[in-house]
Amino acid sequence: MVKRDHEPPEYLSPRASGILLPISALPGAHGIGDIGPVALRWLEFLHESGQKLWQILPIHPTGYGNSPYQSTSAMAYNPLLISLEQLAYDGLLSRADFTDYPQTSPDCVEYERLIPVREKLLRKAAEKFLKNGRLSGYDRFLRGQPWLENYALFEVIGGQFPGRPWSEWPEALRRREADSLEKVRRELALELDIVKVKQYFFHNQWQWLRKRARQLSIKIIGDMPIFVAHHSADVWSNPELFDLREDGMPRVVAGVPPDYFSETGQRWGNPLYRWEKHAETHYAWWAERLRCAMDLYDVVRIDHFRAFADYWEIPAAEKTAIRGTWRDGPGLNFFSELRERLGELPIVAEDLGILSDAAVKLREQLGSPGLRILLFAFDGDDPKSPFLPENYIENCVAYTGTHDNDTIVGTFSEDSSGKLRWMLLKKYLPTTCADFQFPKNLLYWLACSPARWVIFPMQDILGLDSLARTNTPGSPENNWKWKLQGDELTAEIRILLCQLGLR
């Protein structure tokens, strides 16, 4: 069914505002935010502040650079986000287990220091859980996650060959020969069980978080990258679904061509899908991926949505994205098949950048909301810019910026581009904002737009500068590390959010 673009879908009701904040950025007591009591307190804060939405980043196991967009699984959960505090409440850890826990920065996630100690504690909790006997809930969890066996095998085998992608494993394991996998199951049974139990810990804690969010009428918006990492359980266990060479390496990779943002384009390096093979299975792998996402979130934001219409194919041997070819994506048939399997698909389409007519048409046919980014309105002098709040349609989700953008304060810094944006801001900001308070007036301006949903990155609510960026695309350093400090959630911030809350 084709919908009119200006009609917001039912899942975009009621009109609401919320906060973009990664789980890892919550002010956790153990160096990184998690999904235990600290997340429950965050939900209470959102509720008390009149907010109805919480957008997070992908919660899957992180790979290179701790990026949530380069995961070792598109369906598994990130053990780093499991609450150690909750495991202690459950009797699986003791106070003595935390004696040697490192002191960490209050405003920065120090992954290198945290990962070893957290892995040690999670293993201890998992071993105690297994020693105490299997629970019926655990057995139900195992039966309900068909992806889990392959993920556990991938993690355990990978642990035997640290630092090596699966395409460099011994041939029998790379090709998933039955005898070799059975040997792993037999000789490394405990390791497989520990991987599975950690996934169960996350699953249990997340169910409590979702339940509390529903009680407080807060919707959780998840984030799904359209492409997956080459070194992932998904590609290793389903090589026929990806465009790979005989040796398991990608033949072609994902990215975007040169544009006004980059003279060489962006070469992401993710393997591309063999869409014809997915169609032969009626998109079974995608159906399972979306089912998992819909079990976790109320609404799913799909990153780089345009690739369902058309995508940039780059030969893997190329070092940049300059030499590539546009290919057709699966289009409307993909979504029609998935709707038959899953029912309504509550998705938000990340439709930023230069879009083809086919990509625009596909989003309009689905009726899915796209994005509007306020900061993009000041990249040029155009009163008809779709990023100026007065030009928004109702069927969209509006942001000051995304996790890939600078903060408001950083964007309007003292360099030449920042000064130019100041001039444009003064030109386009409504005259009713005479009592100018930067950056608050930009937040109010966005809140007054026609957008059905408005989401503010927490850094912009706090008025932080570029040092608080979540991610700087193209830069491998200091990403995904910013962390909220508990004392920043003041009464003044709560009042500001109440004023910004949409009615």
What three-state secondary structure class fits 157? Answer: helix
Question: Nearest-5° angle of CA 111, CA 108, CA 196?
Answer: 35
Token pair for 264: 């060489």
Q: Pick the catalytic residue: 34, 303, 337, 406?
A: 303
Q: Within its chain, how far is the Cα of 235 from the centroid? A: 19
Strands 347-349 and 325-328: unpaired
Whether residue 487 lies in the annotated active site:
no
Closest CA to 332 of 297, 299, 367: 367
Beta bridge partners of 253: 271, 314
Cα-Cα-Cα-Cα dihedral of 283, 289, 295, 296, to 10°? -150
Q: Pick the catalytic residue: 110, 288, 298, 404?
A: 404
What three-state secondary structure class fits 315? Answer: strand
Whether residue 404 lies in the annotated active site:
yes
Q: Within its chain, how far is the Cα of 54 from the centroid? A: 12
Q: Which residue reads 């629970």 in tokens? A: 135
Number of H helices, E strands in the chain: 18, 12
Whether residue 488 lies in the annotated active site:
no
Closest CA to 455 of 391, 386, 403: 403
Q: Give the CA distances from residue 61 to residues 28, 29, 76, 106, 462, in Å, rounded to whole numbers and listed in that order.
A: 19, 21, 7, 23, 29
Q: Pick the catalytic residue: 5, 155, 191, 350?
A: 350
Q: Which residue reads 């169609």 in tokens? A: 279
Cα separation, 71 vs 233, in Å, equals: 9
Cα separation, 366 vs 308, in Å, equals: 12
Long-range contacts of 275-284 (CB under 8 A, 24+ apart): 275/329, 275/330, 275/334, 277/240, 277/241, 278/241, 278/330, 278/334, 279/330, 279/333, 282/337, 282/341, 283/330, 283/334, 283/337, 283/338, 283/341
SS (H, E, C) 290-301: HHHHHHHCCEEE
Catalytic residue numbers read 303, 350, 404
